[in-house]
Amino acid sequence: MCLRWANRSHSQILLGQTLSAGAPRWGFTLISPRSLTSLHTCLGAMVHAFLIHTLRAPHAEDTGFCRVLYSCVFAAEKSPDDPRPHGAERDRLLRKEQILAVARQVESMCRLQQQASGRSPMDLPPQSSDEPTSLHEAPHGAFRLAAGDPFQEPRTVVWLGVLSLGFALVLDAHENLLLAEGTLRLLTRFLFDHLRLLAPSANLLLRADRVEAILTRFLPHGQLLFLNDQLVQGLEKELSAAWPL
Amino acid sequence: MFTTGAESLLHQAREIQDEELSRFCSRIVKLLQKDPGAEAVDALRRLFLIISATKYGRRLEKPCMDLLQTTLCSPTCPEQLQLLCAAILREMAPSEGLALSCDHIQNSRTLSLAASVLLAQGDRQDEVRNVGQRALQLLEARQPEGPGPRPLLPVLSKVVSLAPGTLPQAQADLLHRRLVDWLRYASIQQGAAQPSGGFFSAPRTRQPGPVTEVDGAVATDFFTVLSTGQRFTEDQRLNVQAFSMLRTWLLSSGPTSAGAADADDRSELEGSTLSVLSATSATASHLLPPQQQLRAGAFEYCQRLLEQSTRRALRRGDSDLQKSCLVEAVQLLDVLCRQEPSFLYRALSCLKALLGRLCGDPAQARALLPIARFLLSHGEAAAVDSEAICQHLFSSVPAELFPSPMLAFEFAQFCRDSLHLFSPDQGIFKPSFPSLFKLLAWHSPALTSEFVVLLPALVDAGTAVEMLHALLDLPCLTAALDLQLRSSPAASSERPLWDISLRPTSCLEGFRDPQFQGLFQYLLRTKAGGITKRLAPLHRLLQPMASCARVVQCAEAVPTLLQVFFAAVTQVADGALTAQLALVLLERSNFLFQVPQYEAQVHRVMSSQFLALCRLRPALVVELARDLLDFVGSVSGIHSRERMFTAVVWAVGEYLAVSYDRRCTVEQVNRFFESLEALLFEVTQSRRSATLPPCPPQVVTVLMTTLTKLASRSQDLIPRVSLLLSKLRALPQGPAMGSAPRDEDTDTIRTRATELTNLLKMPSVAQFVFTPGTEASTPRFHRDANTALPLALHTVSRLMDREAGLPVA
């Protein structure tokens, strides 16, 4: 247990000044109790956020941090009616911390899964940059986030770890997990192909437009799409035409 | 890949000062004002990084903010720039100076972009409603500029999921109608090829063929997401969008279905009046209100998907999509039947046929979960089938498919969501815990929090003892599952699911050895059998696997689960069960799978839970007197299970009293006294071999205290305990002591001995202090200065203080 929760304390330190004694484990007291009463309003099934982050090599947790390289929150949670000044800044800080918290937990889950199967992320067979990465063999999984910890509503995270990158979808609690899993694989494959992430000089950080272009087509506003194989190919052709490599 | 170069880029982005940023903004303004090109793109990419790299707000100059918004809304601007502007503004959100408004946007794609920024603001100024209204207005306009209504659908879906029931009925009705059109009447011809632009290509554009099914056959009915072809028409793409948003829309659209409970009540009413009408097909339902039309259309769509999912897909992607569609269709049917109960019987007959097909196919196991959920939630009409499917799910699915992390999570989620639906008299859920524990044992990091919720619902007085053993043996189960995988016929698959760095040859031989078969079968059972078997031989056999990572991870989860178990079991346990549980704790504290750290962590929980059980039912100490005497009878126990030993000795001192149980006799007290006295003498006086580690001072002081407590209740024993205490006060110091405690520990022991001796000088006070009546915990005894308690406390503290003031010599 301790290994799993160990990472969490970090966000508490960063948010130290906003903590109170009665705070839940992650210490997001920025969520007012009032906003938690609206728990049952979310009936829909959509994706709340998509993120790409780093996965540190096992036993290298002390070197460097888990970095979120890209994130897209498809629509913010309703801001609490907080009369204190700098509400907007606090909202933004909270959102960033939420995403980072997800990234850390994905990293930790991925590491535990890899340890359990006796593999390290570097064990995947080396592949040339034009060969599609075999994503069906990459470590993957899902876990649940309880209401208020860190999001207002309960959410499910579906994740995929490929080499040193983690890809995750934060879902509403009743989203179709099979579809989400398929969509995450699809997105990851496109990201690898269109951003040439396997190439040594690849730089995700300065290619946000391309990530956005992929998301608008395959996950518009966080809507998971039922795309059959031919339709995916058609959309990919359109993407390649509009965004030549 | 993420390199040090990227790390330094992130650092640079974070360290950019406001001044620098402001200069950069002016440059961006200039670039965007003239005909923006590659340079502008590059600058905006950098700006995105600067803003997204830090969690603290960045302030952009007003001209820059304004220009980003104008660029975003300009329909002639290239997509790349628009996406970047939208992403930057979204990353800035919530921003107070945002002037962006969707009121005048005419182009559906621009509205979609603006919506991504507006919906990121946190709905402080009713942005969600405004975006929704505008999207519907553009939809009403029939011919919105730009790429048609397709980009509007995900926006609407997001809006209703964020704020269900906010759209006005009339507007929602409009979308209901159009969704029916898109869902049911999309073209069944493939899209035409784009003219390639060549001089001769135009005259010979071939007539596109009909759409096909996933198996290549010509489509037999209307277009769905499982219909395929070379190219797709716009209305076919709308069909895909419409189906993708259908469940969200059905659940959240319209002011009437603001809450799930509301929807249920209302739909029953509707069902009774409109059942005949609504059961007709969408094609014949033009007279129905739009919402019912949509439901009828959706129902037909689901039926068609279920039919299409039986086809053999030619492409792997399509076969995956079939599975997702199956799940979605069943979930949709569930929603539809809740809203319109008259659909129920038709839905049931569809699902029964489906079940027959899916049950035998492990590849379809995940589709069974929503079906089971449907059958469970539609109560009596489906009772027989739900029992059969649950039986199948719980007995074979975890046992066969436990290695899949997604299935394991979904299974746990299914149980968690259906807890209130499992009927207690069906008796399927609770006895299935050994099956569910397989998922837990294999995926403990992801599933522990799920089981913290599930466990209380699984606890049953009849199987509690078996479950306690199962929890304590959970790491053993992990190891056994690993062996099971390794020795399964499919073990030669390309990607083994177990730790390949480990080669537990002896364990594998043992797994196949008939001598251990019975025990392995017991450990890997799928149902609680009401019996418990001692697994000590397996512990020894599996020892080489104790340090493998998955086993260690599972062991880390056990203490938490034990606590949850005890919190739940004490709610249902009677006296006999409490005694049994206490006995299991005594026994198992000596028989645990030897995983690093496991024993210490589990002993910690065991000891505190043993005390909690005694507190709950003090008579345990009298009832289990013989077992407790056995437990404290040997010195070796002190070292191997110190915490448990301390707890037991403490419990004897606390609860072995007539006031707790009338059956407590003087002989019993004397027997415990003699046993503990001998033990204390042994650990402090006689054993002085260098091979044994010193007895921990906690154990010595607890033994002393317990002996004093017993003496205070049976006063003939006071001289004996006083003699013993005086010997301890004279405990010599120095390294020559061998097994005797260290200096500071000796001091502690001597102080405690002095205190206890002083207390015993006044037997009536001692008795009051050591065995306070239950009323001593009531507030009156602490507030009222005239009651005996303050007086007694005062006396005691005087006695203590007098000694504490003395130099320790």
Gap from A174 CA to chain B (nearest CA, Å): 10
Average pLDDT, chain B: 84
Q: Which residues contact B719 (CB under 8 A, 6 or more apart)?
A: none
Task: Report pTM.
Answer: 0.87
Give the type of residue at B50. Answer: I
CA distance B60 to chain A (A): 14
User: How far is CA B762 from its chain centroid?
Assistant: 56
Task: Indicate the residue of B10, B56, B560 with minimum beta-carbon distance to A93.
Answer: B56
Q: What are the tokens at B413?
A: 């989620």
Residues 130-169 of chain A whose Cβ lies under 8 A from any Cβ of chain B: 137, 140-144, 146, 156, 158, 163-165
- Domain holding B604, by residue range, is 429-487+504-612
| Short-list B131, B179, B178, CA closest to B156 | B131
Give B212's DSSP letter.
B
Residues B604 and B625 in one domain: no
Same-domain pairing of B627 and B539: no
Q: Please tell me whether residues B726 and B587 are part of one structural domain.
A: no
Q: Are residues B642 and B584 in the same domain?
A: no
Q: How many helices (H) and strands (E) does chain A have?
A: 7, 5
Q: Is the dihedral of CA B621, B623, B626, B627 positive or negative?
A: negative
Q: Cα(B274)–Cα(B292) distance, rounded to whole angstroms?
A: 9
Count of domains for chain B: 2
Type and span of the H or E element at A142: strand A140-145
Question: In B, residues 78-97, which contact A (CB 8 Å cutoff)?
Answer: 79-80, 83-84, 86-87, 90, 93-96
Asked if residues A155 and A172 have their Cβ atoms less than 8 Å apart, the reply is yes
Closest approach of A162 to chain B, Cα-based (Å): 10
Nearest to A143 by CA among B399, B416, B612, B74: B416
User: Residue B524 domain-assigned?
Assistant: yes
Task: Please tell me whether residues B689 and B754 are part of one structural domain.
Answer: yes
Radius of gyration for the alpha carbons in chain A, expressed in angstroms and rounded: 18
Asked, for residue B363, whether it belongs to a domain, the answer is: no
Identify the H or E element spanning A172: strand A165-172
The torsion angles phi and psi of A170, rounded to 5 degrees, stand at: -100, 120
Same domain, B544 and B693: no
Contact with chain B for residue A171, Cβ under 8 A: no
Encode pLDDT of B764-787 as tens digits. 778 777 877 767 777 777 777 666
Q: Is B569 in the same domain as B708?
A: no
Q: What part of A 27-66 touches B (C-beta under 8 Å)?
A: 40-46, 54, 64
Residue B90 lies in a domain: no
Restricting to B residues 399-418, those with a Cβ less than 8 Å away from any Cβ of A are: 405-406, 409-410, 413
Q: Which of B272-286, B432-446, B532-546, B556-570 has the lowest mean pLDDT?
A: B272-286
The answer on B540 and B674 residing in a single domain is: no
Q: What is the CA radius of gyration of chain B?
A: 37
Q: Residues of A with CB below 8 A from B94's CB?
A: 76, 79, 88, 91-92
Contact B158 A46 (CB under 8 A): yes
A89–B contact, CB cutoff 8 A: yes
Same domain, B522 and B623: no
Cα–Cα nearest to B270, from B257, B251, B281, B286: B257
Q: Which of B412, B672, B569 is nearest to A141 (CA)?
A: B412
Structure confidence at residue B638 as a pLDDT band (50, 70, 90):
confident
Q: Which of B612, B627, B642 is the last residue of a domain?
A: B612
What gap in Å lies between CA A181 and CA A185, rounded to an integer? 6
**Angle (nearest 5°) at CA B227 between B223 and B230:** 115
Task: Give the type of residue at B142.
Answer: R
Q: CA nearest A244 in B: which residue? A: B80
The CATH label, of 3.30.460.10, 2.40.160.50, 3.30.450.60, 3.30.1280.10, for the domain at A47-118+136-242 is 3.30.450.60
Q: Single out the residue in B560, B588, B612 at which a domain terminates.
A: B612
User: Residue B49 and residue A206: Cβ atoms within 8 Å?
Assistant: yes
Identify whether residues B516 and B639 lie together within a single domain: no
Question: Which residues on B lie below 8 Å from A183 (Cβ)?
Answer: none
Residue B787 covered by a domain? yes
Pseudo-torsion of CA A29, A169, B326, B379, nearest 10°?
-10
Query: A170 contacts in B (CB within 8 Å)?
Result: none
Which residues in chain A are closer than 8 Å to B363, comparing Cβ atoms? none
B553 burial level (CB within 10 Å; 0-12, 13-18, 19+): buried
Tell me how far apart the alpha carbons of residues A142 and B199 are, in angstroms, rounded to a whole number. 53
| Of B612, B634, B653, the domain-final residue | B612
- Same domain? For B675 and B567 the reply is no
Q: What is the ipTM of this complex?
A: 0.87
Q: Which of B41, B58, B116, B440 to mutate to test the interface with A (most CBs of A within 10 A)?
A: B116
Spatial distance between the Cα atoms of B423 and B414, rounded to a whole number of angstroms: 15
List the pLDDT tens digit at each of the 245 positions of chain A: 333 333 333 333 322 333 333 333 333 333 333 333 333 344 567 999 999 999 887 665 566 788 999 999 998 888 777 777 777 888 899 999 999 999 999 999 999 998 888 876 555 544 444 444 577 778 999 999 999 889 999 999 999 999 889 999 999 988 999 999 999 999 999 999 888 887 776 688 888 999 999 999 999 999 999 999 999 999 999 999 988 87
Same structural domain for residues B771 and B704?
Answer: yes
Domain ranges of chain A: 47-118+136-242
